[in-house]
Amino acid sequence: MGLSDASHGRVITMRHEEKYICSDRQLALIEQRLKTVMSYDRNQTGDSYSIRSLYFDTGSDRFYYEGLSGVDRRCKYRIRFYNMWEDLIKLERKDSERNLKKSARP
pLDDT along the chain (106 residues), means of 10: 47 69 93 89 72 89 88 87 80 78 60
Q: 64 near 58, Cβ under 8 Å?
A: no
The model scores a pTM over 0.85: no
SS3 at position 105: strand
SS3 at position 48: strand
Give the model's pLDDT for residue 6. 45
**Smallest Cα–Cα separation from 103: which of 14, 42, 17, 41?**
14
Q: 10 near 104, Cβ under 8 Å?
A: yes
Q: 31 near 44, Cβ under 8 Å?
A: no
In the chain, what are the domain boundaries? 2-105
Q: 91 near 81, Cβ under 8 Å?
A: no
Give the model's pLDDT for residue 10. 60
Give the model's pLDDT for residue 1. 36
